[in-house]
Structure 1
Amino acid sequence: MNKTSLSIALLLLVILSAFSLREPTVLIIGDSISIGYTPFVKEHFAGKASIVHNPGNAQHTGTGLEKIAEWLGEEDWDIVQFNWGLWDLAYRHPDAKAYGNRDKVNGKVTYTVDEYAANLDSLVTYIKSKTDAKLIFVTTTYVPSEEVGRFTSDVKKYNTAAKKIMKKHGVIVNDIYKKSIKIHKEYGVGSNDVHYRPEGYQMLSESISSFLEKELGMK
């Protein structure tokens, strides 16, 4: 082997070695529930995968349509995990005193089930056009009955609509809804709040991390 061939061989070896050492990259897009469990997911994958959450709160599907291009950026993602729902099914009224103007008695829903489904359809279509990443949709979590701006029963309706859209596009679904009910009843902030105490987010993260590990081929 001459010097030129040897140099090329060594260069290819370096490139292949660098590629094999590359950590897989995962983008998590979601609301405050995902913001709560993402630090635990990052800790779980430390040294094994790069976990990135979209800047801030992804809110509802309308916000997603406005910012999805920015969130995806130019990164070569291996997985894009996303969720919208809690904000979409929230009722709000400008005069309501509850945080975020939530009011399921006098307010108007952010997006109806049909509007939510249409927005998800557009979002998935766009994401698939911009990345070859594996896509994972995470279902919306539990809403306790005393929540002032959301109906408990709406979650199942919105999740059912979302699953139909994901099936249409061949998107994998990580259905954490049933698990979230039990976790919330033990580790939720309260019967009038959709959020969780740290222990609750840690438990939710286990379902997220385990699913991601499987889809990344780590288990």
Structure 2
Amino acid sequence: MHTKYFLAGLLTVCSTLHAAPPADAEKKADTLLPKVVLVGDSIRLSYAPKVAKQLEGQVQIISAAANGQDSRNVLKNLPAWVLNKQPAIVHFNCGIHDIKKTIADGSFQVSPDQYEKNLREIVKQIRENTEAIVIFATTTPLHDQRASDYRKGRDYELLNASIQQYNAIALKVMKELEVPVNDLNAAIATPADGQSTDDLIASDGVHMTAAAQKVLANQVSETIRQYLK
């Protein structure tokens, strides 16, 4: 009888020793990984989970649940979304919301001059308050006809020419500030592997199809890997 209880106890101890680590131990291990903050609008929200999956065990991906919207809003929320996190890498974008153009007077939601100032201030604040490597992602292209049809009757328009205009501003700023650029616009505008831009942009002319989300996630993940110390 005593032998039976001894063997049962021994089996219990062995199974405990070989059991999977508790969830809280895994969570603690994750917090020791380098922090990478992703900032951006709904395009970022669509690829962020895939990036987190691809880089699982390598980095801790931090991606705010909120839509980053325009550069003014990113700047306003920078302390909560980025600075307080003290990340190793910040991968950010803003642009689509900035280029919303009011039909009545042709004004942008954020003017070109203000967009440039906001980008400079975003980079400045990140560099002054963290030791993070800053990476800027260009704004993805639009499909003009689809965007127009989907937003018929609204008081604003979204144009790919505006995306190009604002990306040019961003590229100038990032070159001057020596900020590396992840060209997500090119990934969609000139896709590889026989894909077409029309197949990558969704029916609303702005958002990404599942295939495009995969393309962006792959490129973002690869870019982050390049800058991991």
Q: The TM-score by the shorter chain falls in which range?
A: 0.7 to 0.9
Larger Rg belongs to:
2
Runs of 4+ in structure 1 displaced over 6 angstroms?
A: none
SS of structure 2 residue aligned to 1:201 = helix
Q: For 1:105-160, what per-residue CA distance to the aligned partner results, in whole angstroms no more than 9, with x for missing partners?
A: 66631012222111111111111111110000000000111223211111121111
**RMSD of aligned Cα (Å):** 2.1
Tell whether 2:169 aligns with 1:161.
yes
Q: 1:69 to 1:76 in 2, by over 3 A?
A: closer
Choose the corresponding residue for 1:186, options 199, 202, 207. Answer: 199
Tell whether 2:47 aligns with 1:37.
yes
Q: Distance in 2 between matches of 1:39 and 1:81?
A: 14
Q: For 1:72-91, what per-residue CA distance to the aligned partner results, in whole angstroms no more than 9, with x for missing partners?
A: 24323110111010000112
Pairing of 1:71-86 with structure 2 (within 5 A): 71-86=81-96
Note the C-alpha offset of 1:58: 0.5
Q: Distance in 1 between matches of 2:72 and 2:84?
A: 22
Note the C-alpha offset of 1:46: 1.0
SS of structure 2 residue aligned to 1:143 = coil
TM-score by length of 1: 0.78
What residue ranges of structure 1 are gaps of 5+ in the alignment? 1-17, 93-103
Partner of 2:224: 212
Q: Distance in 1 between matches of 2:201 and 2:175?
A: 31
Task: Answer with 72-81 or 24-33: which moved more.
Answer: 72-81
Pairing of 1:109-148 with structure 2 (within 5 A): 109-146=108-145, 147-148=147-148
Partner of 2:57: 47
Q: Distance in 2 between matches of 1:145 and 1:71?
A: 31
What residue ranges of structure 2 are gaps of 5+ in the alignment? 1-27, 149-156
Partner of 1:201: 213
More strand by share: 1
Task: Answer with 43-52 or 178-187: which moved more.
Answer: 178-187
Whether the 8 Å CA contact 1:184–1:196 is kept in 2: the answer is: no
